[in-house]
Amino acid sequence: MPEVNLAEQSLLLGYAIRAASWLMLAALVLCILRIARGPTLADRVVALDILNILAVAYCALLTVTSGRAVYLDAGIALALVAFLVTVAFAKFIERTGIDTRNRSAEEKRDAE
């Protein structure tokens, strides 16, 4: 595997990598906030989908930072898993009707 040590190569690139890492960290934290808060299961699944995509993006950033191409393979595998997770969760929501059940339970509780 070819290796490029970039962070030491140029100061400016090092700063850019650091800024990008902080931005990605903030994005991941916001995603987790939405997963914790989201009112319905569908909201949480959307947030999980975005979290997975951002993790793929972070793998790409890690490839640039470390100069090792292995992280790119991890990113591709993660992208595959992210798609499958989203589709499986969507099927689960449609088949079980879990959001409808939760909502009608809430409405019953509010009525009482």
Partner 1 sequence: MLSEILTIVLLIAGSFFGFTAALGLIRMPDIYTRMSTSGKAATLCCGLLLAAVAFLFEDIQITAKAVIAILFLLITVPVGAHVIGRAAYREQVKSWEGTKTDGEE
Give the binding site for partner 1 (CB under 8 A).
Answer: 2, 4, 6, 10, 12-13, 16-17, 19-21, 23-24, 26-31, 33-34, 40, 42-43, 45-47, 49-50, 53-54, 56-57, 60-61, 63-64, 69, 72-73, 75-76, 79-80, 82-83, 86-87, 89-91, 93-94, 97, 99-100
Residue for token pair 């299961």: 41
For 8, which DSSP code? T
Torsion sign (Cα): 33, 81, 86, 107: negative
> Whose Cβ is closer to partner 1: residue 76's or residue 105's?
76
Residues 6 or more apart whose Cβ sits within 8 Å of residue 48: 35, 85, 86, 89
